[in-house]
Amino acid sequence: MTLLPPTAEQQKRINEEVSTDPETRKRDVAAIRDWLSKQPHLPNHMDDTRLERFLFGCKNSIERCKLILERYFSVRTAIPEFFAVRDPLAREIQECCEAIQYFILPSLTDEGYRVTILRLKDSTIDKFSIQTISRRILMVLDTRLIEEQCLSNIMVIDLEGFGVVHFTKCSPTQSIVRKAMLAMQDSMPLRLHRVHFLHAPAFIENILNIFYPLLKVRLVQKFRIHTGGGEELHSYMNKDILPNEWGGKAGTLDELNGAWKKKIEKNRDWFLREEKLSRTNENARLPESKTRILKELEGLQGSFRQLNID
């Protein structure tokens, strides 16, 4: 699945929000590279293009980029549940791709945002594994970081087929869910513009109330709750970029999901290599460089309100 580049108008908007001066970017990447070389516990294998994407995702803030890189590597070592055995051909990943549709739409919104969709194809509860879904999501996010940069992101979560047991598995009282929140919210240079929930059940507020105390108000304000399906998105974005079943022209849900399944499979060698490279050396970590993520994971008792959601 090819992620289509910005149109001229979209690129203009992106440039207005995040400067793309080549010389400045080159100096900033060099500064980050120099910083990495002085962190004995961090790897320094990323090429300049990938570091540029981290920097862009941090709105050209060098200090913010350093923080995200520290977290990016730290969670890969501290939470092996999501970063070990990252083989796209592994049985659990293959089964997840069949049961859970998760993909990025090819075209950007008019504003220059990427749209990600997650929905159930098979609601069988035994096929709904938070650990496997999280591992797959993080693999897709990593794929994006080696392919492109975008201004911000829109997440669409279709709750059709979700039952009480599915929601129970997603409860933040489960340690695996809280670890997933840490891994996804606090260690990627990807900004979030909006979250749309489709086919929301009548009790959705009761479910979200469990999460609200753990999330920044700024994130909660990005939520939009819809009782209908994909047609609810038409007033928020050009419907042509949506899946065919939702009134768009991007392809069917199955085609889009299948294309991303093939994409991560194509990157299999990269995932297996990165699994070994993108890790911290905790024996070399200086005491003052211990991150809050590591402190959180020691007891999972910290407040998730401190997580940075942009």
pLDDT at residue 308 tops 70: no
> With bands split at pLDDT 50, 70 and 90, how would you rate the model's confidence at 295?
low
Is-contact 86 139, C-beta < 8 A? yes
Mean pLDDT throughout 88-100? 97
pLDDT in tens, 245-283: 999 999 999 999 999 999 999 999 999 999 999 999 988
Least confident of 147-151, 236-240, 297-301: 297-301
pLDDT in tens, 26-74: 999 999 999 999 999 999 999 999 999 999 999 999 999 999 999 999 9
pLDDT in tens, 5-28: 999 999 988 888 888 788 999 999
Distance of alpha carbon 48 from alpha carbon 53, whole angstroms: 9
Residue 286 or 113, more confident: 113
For residue 162, CA distances in Å to 107, 127, 173 come to 28, 12, 18
Bridge partner residues of 158 (DSSP): 119, 198
> Quick one: what percent of the chain has pLDDT higher than 90?
66
Angle at 175 between CA 125 and CA 295, to 5 degrees: 155
pLDDT in tens, 162-210: 998 998 898 877 788 888 887 887 789 999 999 999 999 998 888 888 8
CATH of segment(s) 10-286: 3.40.525.10
Q: How many DSSP H helices and E strands does the chain contain?
A: 14, 5
Amino acid at 33: R
DSSP letter, residue 196: E
Mean pLDDT throughout 69-91? 91
